[in-house]
Amino acid sequence: MAIVELKDVKKIYHLGKAEVHALRGVTFSIEKGDFVSIVGPSGSGKSTILNLIGCIDQPTSGTVKINGTVTEGLSDKELTNLRHKTVGFIFQSFNLIPVLNVYENIEFPLLLGRERPSKKEMREWIEYLIEAVGLADHKHHKSNELSGGQRQRVAIARALVTKPEIVLADEPTANLDSKTGQSIIELMKKMNAELNTTFIFSTHDTTIMSIADHVIRLLDGLVVEDTKAQAAAGGLS
Amino acid sequence: MRILLTIAWRNVRQHKVKTAIIGLIMIIGIMVLVVGNSFMDTAAKGIERYYIKNYTGHLMITGKTRGNLTLFGFQDLTAMEQPVPRIPEYAEIVEFANSLQYVAVVNPQVSATAIVSRGEKTLGATQLFGIIPEQYQAMFPDNVEILEGGFWRPGEQGVLLNKAVAEILEEQVGFTFRPGDKLLFTSVSTHTGMRIREVEITGLFRFKQSNVQLDMVSLMDISNVRALAGMVVGSADPAQLSSEEQRFLGEIDEESIFGSLDSLFAEVSVEEPETEDDFWFSLLEGTEAAQAAAQEDTGAWQYLLVRLIDEKYLKQAEQDFAQFFADKGIAAQTRDWRQGAGALAELSYGIKSVFNTIVLIIAVVAVIIIMNTLVISVTERMSEIGTMRAIGAQKSFVRRMIVLETMLLSGISGLVGVAAGALVLLVLNRIGLQATNVFLEIIYGGPELRPELSWPAVLLSLVVIAAVGAMSSAYPTAIVMKTSPRKAMESSR
């Protein structure tokens, strides 16, 4: 079942009088529970695709369908609700809320929704995630008291706390050393397996590419390689 | 809400520079506002208290007239157009006033301004209140301190000279006035011509609580002040005459009395007090009216001052008198103590308005500074706000967060400002502020001011701080509202 579908998506940015064609007609789909890697050089359109899947941007033309919902024409409020329910974010620079501690940062997305689990359920679920990302001893620490790897673990837990269908990770290991980066990837793979959450990365990291179920390679705003599509086509032929 | 409060409170604590700048501006602003307005309110209450207690009573009844009529006469251009009207149906009004249970005491007065001279030499000027000492002292038992001599005896005439006036006059003659000395009082009016009376000083006094305007007031017997005010003793305004009186006066008019208007400004002879009102009655010589007018008309008054047993009856008194005047068809009206007190009391209120205008300007500057600081703060937090938006915070959430932070900061600063203001007022109250010049005396409403914390001032300050907080957060909030969740991604890369 496709959780993400892009059909002939084009995105043009206007920089003054100049037009930048970030995407020139991209079509692919991502299955639920996949560990997906979107790769390509700088300027190839990776970030634009993540923005479109994350419902924080709209295509100039074409269709973006997230968990069965076409994003085109949705209001800001509807897009925010869709993001909140369906998508979790992991940022390159972690982007934790500095005044909140580990527990509160993870809890934060749950407090934004109208439908909330009971306090007990919330606490148990957050405690589980904290335990799962290995920060049981740090739950009352503020982000400035944590290392880069620990911060990214918090970010992973925060991205998963609303039990989203999709987690978007924008170069999650770019600001980490290789050893820490490796452990973060392993953690995400573990969560992917445990929760059947779809993980979509934009990355240069070859480790991620090697363990990904599905690799989409971009160049100059076009898909030049889609491993799943090719496999499917190969299967058909 | 809990998470909003947590974030707001921690941000206030974490961003120390922003908190310090905004907090300090607000604390100082609120402190100035609380101290200033409490100061003004105390002064205004003092003015009200001592004017009602010592000079005006709660209400002043006068003849119906337009213009700014005070106890000191008209204080606007109306003075050029009309004399101070006398109260019609005075006896009936007094009877009605005394019948009201909430009326404590009444006191009639006449006011005039006179140039004071001795022999050929003009010495200065004084405001005169024409009074009956017994009634005046019954109404204002504590306002006069006799320094020498005393009031004139009942049925006699005289002037109780204000020491402040006496000192000005004494500078011209080079000696000290004593009871028994005589002075010439001259009034000039476009309505009544020139009037001169020679009056004996029966005593010197000072008002216990005074100001620059009241320092000019001397107290004089009613007969002489009526004469100086152009109220010919024993007569009434032509407009007020009954048909019987008009018939009685026959064909007397100005022409028949004076020959021509020029005689008003011709040589004027000086009347000795002993001659009583002979001068005025001599003008009626040869008329039948002269005999009738020689009888004292005790109804010729310009003001009837009314003190109530409690200020809470003020509105009721105003309504009752207005109804009485309407029912009886009497052309009279009530004025409150503030109108009666005149320009100086008004000036104190005017100064308060000026102060509040200055505060408003300061508030606008504060709003700009605070807004600027908040804009910088919000700009620094674009990534954080973008992250919140990306992970599911609606625009309304981030708006509430920024407003709450500002209001929290404003609220704490406001309370600290009020506390600091209260402390300053406590110290000032203990020390007491002495008026070292006339200007301060006007502001203070007397020679000394002991400011007290005014709750309306505190309330006003809190309203102002809330308004400043709301206004200064409006623009930063607008910036926040436009922050796209893309900012989280962009700033992260």
Q: Which domains are present in chain A?
A: 2-236 (3.40.50.300)
Per the model's pLDDT, the better-predicted residue between B275 and B417 turns out to be B417
Most confident option among A115-124, B23-32, B121-130? B121-130
Residues of B in contact with A94 (CB under 8 A): 492
Stretch B31-49: mean pLDDT? 84
Mean of the pLDDT values across residues A60-84?
92
List all residues 6 or more positions away from B472 whose beta carbon is below 8 Å from its beta carbon.
B366, B367, B368, B370, B371, B374, B406
ipTM (interface pTM):
0.91
pLDDT (0 to 100) of residue B277: 46
Tell me, what's the pLDDT at B378?
A: 82
Q: How far is A6 from chain B (nearest CA, A)?
A: 19
Residue-level pLDDT at B58: 93
Q: What is the mean pLDDT of chain B?
A: 82
Q: What is the pLDDT of residue B341?
A: 83
Give the best residue of B391, B402, B483 to mutate against chain A (max A CB count within 10 A).
B391
Residues of A in Cβ contact (< 8 Å) with B5: none
The pLDDT confidence band at residue B304, using thresholds 50, 70 and 90, is: very high
How far apart are the C-alpha atoms of A132 and A106, rounded to whole Å?
13
Q: Is residue A47 scored above 60 in pLDDT?
A: yes
Q: Choose the closest CB to A89 out of B14, B391, B397.
A: B391
**What is the per-residue pLDDT for B3?**
84
**Which of B8-22, B73-87, B433-447 has the least mean pLDDT?**
B433-447
Q: Which residues in chain A are closer than 8 Å to B486, comparing Cβ atoms?
A: 51, 56-57
pLDDT, average across residues B355-376: 83
CA distance A210 to A212: 6
What is the band of B280 on the pLDDT scale with cuts at 50, 70, 90? Answer: very low
Residue B298 predicted with pLDDT over 80:
no
Q: Where are the domains of chain B?
A: 2-49+345-492, 65-330
Residues of B with Cβ-Cβ distance to A98 under 8 angstroms: 14, 384
Q: Identify which of B3, B389, B492 has the shortest CB distance to residue A93.
A: B492
Of B6, B7, B492, the CB nearest to A91: B492
pLDDT of residue B231: 80
Per-residue HEC secondary structure of chain B comes to CHHHHHHHHHHHHHCHHHHHHHHHHHHHHHHHHHHHHHHHHHHHHHHHHHHHHHHHCCEEEEECCCCCEECCEECCCHHHHCCCCCCCCHHHHHHHHHHCCCEEEEEEEEEEEEEEEECCEEEEEEEEEEECHHHHHHHCCCCEEEEEECCCCCCCCCEEEEHHHHHHHHHHHCCCCCCCCEEEEEEEECCCEEEEEEEEEEEEEEECCCCCCHHHEEEEEHHHHHHHCCCCCCCCCHHHCCHHHHHHHCCCCHHHHHCCHHHHHCCCCCCCHHHCCHHHHHCCCCCHHHHHHCCCCCCCCCEEEEEECCHHHHHHHHHHHHHHHHHHCCCEEEEEHHHHHCHHHHHHHHHHHHHHHHHHHHHHHHHHHHHHHHHHHHHHCHHHHHHHHHCCCCHHHHHHHHHHHHHHHHHHHHHHHHHHHHHHHHHHHHHCEECCCHHHHHHHCCCEECCCCCHHHHHHHHHHHHHHHHHHHHHHHHHHHHCCCHHHHHHHC
Q: What pLDDT is attached to residue B253?
A: 52
What's the pLDDT at B492?
55
Residue B272 has pLDDT above 50, yes or no: no
DSSP A213: S
Residue B255 predicted with pLDDT over 60: no
How far apart are alpha carbons B426 and A182 in whole angstroms?
Answer: 67
Say which range, A164-173, B213-222, B294-303, B370-379, has the weakest mean pLDDT: B294-303
Of A56, A57, A77, the CB nearest to B394: A77
Q: Are A98 and B384 an interchain contact pair (Cβ–Cβ within 8 Å)?
A: yes
Q: A227 CA to chain B: closest CA distance, Å?
A: 26
Q: Which residue has the tokens 């109108």?
A: B339
Instruction: Quote the pLDDT of residue B264.
Output: 46
Q: Among A211-220, B36-45, B400-409, B434-443, which stretch is predicted with the lowest mean pLDDT? A: B434-443
Minimal CA separation from B406 to chain A, in Å: 16
Mean pLDDT of the B464-476 span:
85
Chain B interface mutation, best of A48, A101, A108, highest count of B Cβ atoms under 10 Å: A108
Confidence category of residue B238, pLDDT binned at 50, 70, 90 = very low
What distance in Å separates the CA atoms of residue B364 and residue B383, rounded to the nearest whole number?
A: 30
CA distance B453 to B39: 8
| Predicted local distance difference test score (pLDDT) of residue B33 | 84
Q: What value does the mean pLDDT take over residues B244-265?
A: 50
